[in-house]
Chain A
Amino acid sequence: MTVGHVARAIESIGIPTVCVYIEAFRPDAELLKPARTLVTPHLMGRPLGLPHQREQQRAVILAALRLLETADHAPTLETFDVSTHHMEGHL
């Protein structure tokens, strides 16, 4: 989960970031502390969900983008809540 290192460097130069991590790598995000992280309950290799689940992918992206506007401190780590999003019958 080296992306946390990249996010920290980008943030340090003055550009806001948001990372999408899967639940299995939540501790990595908690240790590296990228500024904003959305944790999803998805499988490895599928952080935005399953293939061809357009609405699910959009829901994850919108939740992550929202953190760019709402987070007022770092680290901000939020868990993607599947129950509040249309999941098209899948994880």
Chain B
Amino acid sequence: MVDRQINAPDSSQPEPLSLKEFAASLYHAQRADNFFKFLKNFSEEDLADFVQGLLRQVGDAIDDGSTEALARFVQQGQVAAYVPTQTPTPFRPDFTDAPFSPLRKPLRKATVALFSSGAIYHDDQEPYYPVELTYEQAVREVRKATERFPSLRVIPAETPEARLRVGHVAYDIRAAQKDINVIFPLTRLRELAQEGVIGALAERNYSYHGLTNIPRLMQERAPQWAQMLKDDGVDAVFLTAG
């Protein structure tokens, strides 16, 4: 009797979900997960191998009490998934030149500015994602982020970590929410300034949402921001990306 009930056709049952479909749903879709969205780039066979390997690593991490090998496994998965996608495009040209400016004073006397595409902002500033969307909606509708013009947030050097927020919709922000220094090391650079490793941390540091309208960034914003840093009088810029 029980078996018959289980096996009976049930129109309310969802369609079976393939592994590929599941992976695709992680990529800015219904199961949006920026940590593992890279799985969308794998073939079905590679995906199965990755999931099997991941489960094995999870088991070992539990038994061994260490996540080191698990983290390395996931990192290598990200590398395998993303590296083949980075070919030259109009937005990612294979530049033939490479502008170079030497550091004109010793680092211990240099004022260094922090500049990140990681979408960091002060809690009294506007967040980056479209104002009509919640953060969770913006993660699913990532295209809206790429259509937006890049805008900058100024982060003063003495900003306490507790006042910093992160709102990038294309990378997993959970680590940055736990410790902003994983991508915006304002505190670390302040410490290095106090120790005399660098002359000073710049008064004004900056962040923008790296997933943005790239032509506007290349043609307008980046040169403007460069001039702004020159006006700030900084000697070097330390840049991070998600």
Please tell me which one of the listed residues B93, B176, B214, B218 contacts residue A31 in the complex, with CB atoms under 8 A apart.
Answer: B93
Please tell me which one of the listed residues B79, B102, B118, B241 contacts residue A19 in the complex, with CB atoms under 8 A apart.
Answer: B241
A-B pairs with the 7 shortest C-beta distances?
A51-B179, A74-B100, A27-B86, A9-B222, A74-B98, A45-B171, A11-B99
Q: How far is the CB of A53 from chain B (nearest CB, A)?
A: 8
Q: How far is the CB of B208 from chain A (nearest CB, A)?
A: 8
Interface string of B153-196 (1 = CB under 8 A from A): 00000000000000010011111101101110100110110000
Interchain CB contact under 8 A, B94 and A31: yes
B interface list, Cβ under 8 A from A: 34-35, 38, 66-68, 71-72, 74-75, 78-79, 81-83, 86-88, 92-95, 97-104, 106-107, 110, 112, 115-118, 150, 168, 171-176, 178-179, 181-183, 185, 188-189, 191-192, 197-198, 210-212, 214, 217-218, 222-223, 225-227, 229-230, 234-242
Would A50 and B175 be within 8 Å (CB), given that A19-B241, A20-B241, A57-B181 are in contact?
Answer: yes
Interchain CB contact under 8 A, A45 and B230: no
Would A43 and B71 be within 8 Å (CB), given that A15-B226, A31-B94, A33-B97 are in contact?
Answer: yes
